[in-house]
């Protein structure tokens, strides 16, 4: 049971970590590769949809801001998913041992 649950939690932690790294690196370097993305005449970027304006300047500023946010919060996010993995494992692996230990210490009802 632990292996199955640990596998699922590990996949979640991996995807969050890789996604956060990709957002940080992509946002911080978008100025270098943004020109290479083809944009059609009816293309609408996120910055236009949320009302920050249209054009290259607002798009780059928004993506760089997202990259800075992800880069600054990356240590906390990675630590959080690592703690999630550790706590799930600790709960699953030591839960049975602590239940057995408390059962051994409990009085059996025999007065002697």
* Position 108 confidence tier, pLDDT thresholds 50, 70, 90: low
> What do you get for the CA distance between the two ends of the chain, in Å?
41
Q: Which residue has the higher pLDDT, 29 or 102?
A: 29
Phi, psi of 25, deg, nearest 5: -70, -40
pLDDT at 110: 56
pLDDT at 47: 84
d(CA 12, CA 19): 11
Q: Among residues of the chain, what percentage have pLDDT more than 90?
A: 51
d(CA 77, CA 16): 8
The CA-based angle 90-81-25, given to 5 degrees, is 160
* Position 14 confidence tier, pLDDT thresholds 50, 70, 90: very high
């Amino acid at each position: 049971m632990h292996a199955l649950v640990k596998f699922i939690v590990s996949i979640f932690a991996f995807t969050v970590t890789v996604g956060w790294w990709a957002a940080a690196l992509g946002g911080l370097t978008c100025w270098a590769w943004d020109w290479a993305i083809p944009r059609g005449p009816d293309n609408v970027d996120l910055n236009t949809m949320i009302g920050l304006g249209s054009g290259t300047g607002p798009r780059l500023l928004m993506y760089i801001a997202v990259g800075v946010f992800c880069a600054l919060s990356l240590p906390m996010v990675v630590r959080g998913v690592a703690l999630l993995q550790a706590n799930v494992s600790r709960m699953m692996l030591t839960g049975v041992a602590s239940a057995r230990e408390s059962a051994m210490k409990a009085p059996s009802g025999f007065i002697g």
